[in-house]
Amino acid sequence: MIAEFELIARYFTKASPNALLGVGDDCALIASGRTIAVSTDMLVEGTHFFHGDDPFLLGKKALSVNLSDMAAMGANPRWATLALSLPEANESWLEAFSGGFMMQAQDYGVDLVGGDTTRGGLAICVQIMGEVDAEFALRRSGAMIGDEIWVSGNLGDAALGLAHLQGEIELDEADAAFCLKALRDPVPRVELGLGLCGISKCAIDISDGFCADLSHILERSKVSAEVEFAALPVSKTMEKYRTAPLGERAILSGGDDYELCFTVPPEKAALLEAMGKRLGIRLSRVGRIREGEGLVVVDEAGNAKRVGKAGYEHFR
């Protein structure tokens, strides 16, 4: 059985070119002349993933969900720490998990600079740090009356995949493979977040569900919004289920999309569309920020839809 410090040295100690001192000491040492953005996320077996899930994809996702937070702030990710609670030091699991985590870190220029390991139920905690110019940082409080509301990518595929795993719906083999990839291997929109700086002042990543996350923007910005359900972007797979209660719920309230929802003044829409084409990312205008409070989702006739469950929230 591999011991703790050998485990760290073998699987999680890599060169840290962005840090003064990385893994191996009591603290990491980092230096930056810019504002530091910091975020932490935890993934717990049974809550965020299933027993037996592919450890390589789990390693990728563990970092991806934090990279998505960086994207939502318009921050450039630079450093991360990783804390692991493990029921056992399974070397094949560790090799696959660290392979996925480290590959994602390399792809996005992130140095793993520290962390911790302990025995216990399987849980993964990542803290990520990045750099941002404070005046251009994207904030939930930055939405302005008259702004357009935009969304990247597609909504609901991951939630549909989860519903398939939980037996709420039975997808055919091709649809299941597509939706489970969206659930297990999300793409963080880091390039988009960086590009939004100077175009947008407000963004959030869609992790708990579109309506729930947009509502955080509305609360912090002290505004309301009207969203057109028909304008919400979906994949060809989700289009089959769009009008069904489960599909509607997945689009509006499903979590794990890790797309960005953001607001843009109408006069900057052309800049945004050009950036979307340059990055090869689907960007969709879905609504508008208004005076008042709350969120209204309307159908094609302009009638308000019943949103139902707002989104995922722990302890509720």
Average the pLDDT over 197-221 and give the result.
Answer: 96
For residue 269, pLDDT beyond 60: yes
- Asked if 28 and 175 sit in the same domain, the reply is no
- Does residue 36 fall inside a structural domain? yes
Mean pLDDT of the chain: 90
% residues pLDDT > 90 (the chain)? 76
Residues 164 and 293 in one domain: yes
Do both 181 and 275 map to the same domain? yes
Mean pLDDT of 164-192: 96
Is residue 290 in some structural domain? yes
Q: 22-36: buried (b, 16+ CB within 10 Å) or exposed (e) per residue?
A: bbeeeebebeeeeee
Q: Which of 69, 38, 76, 64 is nearest to 197 (CA)?
A: 76
Q: What is the pLDDT of residues 47-88, one digit of tens each?
A: 888 898 999 999 999 999 999 999 999 999 999 999 999 999
Q: Is the pLDDT of residue 224 over 70?
A: yes
My answer on whether 92 and 193 are in the same domain is no
Q: 267: domain range?
A: 138-298
Q: Based on the fold, state whether residues 161 and 293 are members of the same structural domain.
A: yes
Mean pLDDT of all residues in 298-308 = 80
Query: How much is the pLDDT for 308?
Result: 54
In this structure, what CATH number is given to the domain that contains residue 222?
3.90.650.10
| Residue 142 sits in the same domain as residue 120 | no
Give the Cα separation of 143 and 213 in Å (integer).
Answer: 13
pLDDT at site 18: 76
pLDDT at 307: 72
| 39: β partners | 128
> What is the mean predicted confidence (pLDDT) over 268-281?
96
Residue whose C-alpha is closest to residue 195's, from 273, 127, 308, 118: 273
d(CA 150, CA 12): 38
Instruction: Identify whether 119 is part of a domain.
Output: yes
Higher pLDDT among residues 230 and 301, named by residue:
230
Residues 129 and 166 reside in one and the same domain: no
Strands in 76-86's sheet, in edge-to-edge order, are 35-44, 123-132, 76-86, 111-119
Q: What total of structural domains would you count in the chain?
A: 2
- Looking at 89, 117, 134, the residue that finishes a domain is 134
Tell me which of 78, 99, 134 is where a domain ends: 134
Q: What is the pLDDT of residue 231?
A: 97
pLDDT at site 315: 44
Q: Is residue 308 part of a domain?
A: no
Same domain? For 143 and 285 the reply is yes
Task: Mark whether 18 and 46 lie in a shared domain.
Answer: yes
Q: Does some domain include residue 312? A: no
Q: Are residues 144 and 284 in the same domain?
A: yes
Q: What is the pLDDT of residues 1-53, one digit of tens each?
A: 676 666 666 666 677 777 655 666 666 677 787 899 999 999 998 888 889 89
* Per-residue pLDDT tens over the stretch 102-124: 999 999 999 998 888 889 999 99
- 167 with 284, same domain: the answer is yes
| 292-301: average pLDDT | 92
Q: What is the average per-residue pLDDT within 219-233?
A: 97
Looking at the structure, do residues 186 and 87 belong to the same domain, yes or no?
Answer: no
Identify the domain boundary among 134, 157, 188. 134
